[in-house]
Structure 1
Amino acid sequence: MTQPSHRHPPTPAGHGRRTYRQLVFGAGLTSFEVVCQQTDLLVRADRPLEAQTRERVLELRGQIEGYIRRYPDFATTLVPWRADALAPEIVRNMIRAGNAAGVGPMAAVAGAIAGSVGRHLLEHSRQVVVENGGDIFLKTDRPAIAGLYAGHSPLSMKFGIQVAETGDGVGVCTSSGTVGHSLSTGRADAVCVVAHSCALADAAATAIANRINAPDEIASAISIGRSIVGVLGIVAVCGREMGAWGQVELVPMQGKKG
């Protein structure tokens, strides 16, 4: 499930091969992919959990799609959605995240699915990494580094965001106005947000990316992103410029191995 989009930016070389799927951390985890319609996950866990992952994805997609059938505007609105105590949990997470960031709930859908799948898999594995279209849920025993993919920017994959402590799970989500098919009103090559809630990280990344149309707007967009309650750290890239704030440590990617 993807966000509604009114335009399709050029796809950078390598994007079709999931170039951004370069997450670096300690060896020893099993990797597998699960694809259910538009949801395409890369998962790393202590052991193969394809069946549990697929079952959870189908459940979550069914809940979101059922809500959209009931409220069609939910799928297309670009503004916060009213709270709904009777909605499925994943829908409530999307609504809360969108409201916190000032965007529509579908801006949080990829992160919400990654986070919900990741927390479900923690019932079967001590360590879990779930990547969904560049949005990542992390729960690892050691520091993790998520490579920062920024399309044609010369800074793309030159740096990674190191997460020293993942606690009981953390979201590392990226939005772009130049990569992929998700809706963005800005031209940022990448905005990556770290938050305990994967849904919030996704929605906040969208909100911040929407405000960057040129490198000189990075600082002001990050300043606004800092005001979103629950955001722990931000990295933004536009062209040759980069800005960062909060609980993020940038490390060079050269020589890293996944």
Structure 2
Amino acid sequence: MSTSFPRAAGPPAPYEPRTYRSLVRGDRLVGFEVVVRETDLMIRAARDLRAPARELVLAERAGLEAYIREHPAFAGTLAPWAAPGPAPRLVREMIAAGAAAGVGPMAAVAGAIAEAVGRGLLAHGDEVIVENGGDIFLKTRSAAAVALYAGASPLSLRIGVVVGGGGRAVAVCTSSGTVGHSLSFGTADAVCVVGPSGALADAAATAVGNQVRSARDLRRAIAHGRRIPGVEGLVIVAGDRVAFWGDVQVIPIASKKG
């Protein structure tokens, strides 16, 4: 899911239900928001880390925006970026993710920023959840159930994926052809990708979503996603149908929309 920038196996682990912008229920982690221009983060950590989180966002954005000023086409290309030369780490991760998924690098920006901020905040504690426009990076002791927001689909916020736990870092990124402002050439209500990289999961969600024009395309879209290196699990929601593949546990979630 993109953020706009200026152009120049085993038994199920315990989990806590989470929904879009309400990721954790209970008092174990403290929630706070950090907003810097287009970047709008919901963060959960052991304590309020608003100040260091903001510094991380500013630093990552500064590097990305400087690169875009030097390479204006980077912000608008829909194809993998092949321009040589030095680049900030965030930009390199976006370029690699776009190349792996066959999409433009900006398709990876929200997931890449979520991971960069999350990993930076791990210097202050061993648990963190960062949500950026529906793209999530988390590292938690116990497994978490992330609800899938799928717009008008009857399955929206009624199913979720169980991820994380055991201190393992994981990204859960979602793209939609019917919800939000992000560019998609498909019509899936939600495409959720699970993997170790926020940038890759974000780019892959866009790439898989582009394959879905109707519910009849779910099998083909799953096959496409399986071929993207680094994708560990996939869930696609189209209307009242859902398809999934890989190392992903899909569960029902008793939750009201809104």
TM over 0.5: yes
CA distance in 1, matches of 2:215, 2:93: 32
Alignment of 1:150-169 (within 5 A): 150-165=150-165, 167-169=167-169
Relative distance call for 1:166 and 1:80 in structure 2 (3 A) is farther
Structure 1 letter corresponding to 2:94 = M
- Equivalent residue, structure 2, for 1:98: 98
- Equivalent residue, structure 1, for 2:55: 55
* Distance apart, 1:22 and its partner CA: 3.5
* Distance apart, 1:85 and its partner CA: 5.5
TM-score, length of structure 1 as denominator length:
0.90
- Equivalent residue, structure 2, for 1:8: none
- Equivalent residue, structure 2, for 1:14: none
1:38 equivalent to 2:38? Answer yes
Alignment of 1:12-91 (within 5 A): 20-24=20-24, 27-82=27-82, 84=84, 86-91=86-91
Structure 2 letter corresponding to 1:190 = A
Relative distance call for 1:242 and 1:177 in structure 2 (3 A) is same
SS of 1:146's partner is: strand
TM-score, length of structure 2 as denominator length:
0.90
Give the gaps of 5 or more residues in structure 1: 5-18
Relative distance call for 1:164 and 1:197 in structure 2 (3 A) is closer
- Equivalent residue, structure 1, for 2:122: 122
SS of 2:35's partner is: strand
Structure 1 letter corresponding to 2:3 = T
Aligned 8 A contact 2:4 2:38 in 1: no
Deviations 1:73-121 (A, max 9, x none): 0000000011646100000000000000000000000000000000000
Q: Which runs of structure 1 show a deviation greater than 3 angstroms over 4 or more consecutive aligned residues?
A: 24-27, 164-168
CA distance in 2, matches of 1:150, 1:166: 28
Paired residues, what number? 242
* Distance apart, 1:3 and its partner CA: 4.7
Give the gaps of 5 or more residues in structure 2: 6-18
Identity %, equivalent residues = 57
Structure 2 letter corresponding to 1:2 = T
CA distance in 2, matches of 1:242, 1:123: 38
Relative distance call for 1:227 and 1:83 in structure 2 (3 A) is farther
Aligned 8 A contact 1:83 1:96 in 2: no
Structure 2 letter corresponding to 1:192 = C
- Equivalent residue, structure 1, for 2:146: 146
CA distance in 2, matches of 1:25, 1:106: 32
CA distance in 2, matches of 1:98, 1:120: 23
* Distance apart, 1:250 and its partner CA: 1.0
Aligned 8 A contact 2:148 2:160 in 1: yes
Aligned 8 A contact 1:24 1:147 in 2: no
* Distance apart, 1:255 and its partner CA: 6.1
* Distance apart, 1:168 and its partner CA: 3.7
CA distance in 1, matches of 2:114, 2:166: 15
- Equivalent residue, structure 1, for 2:3: 2
Relative distance call for 1:255 and 1:239 in structure 2 (3 A) is closer
Deviations 1:130-159 (A, max 9, x none): 000000001000011111000000000001
- Equivalent residue, structure 1, for 2:131: 131
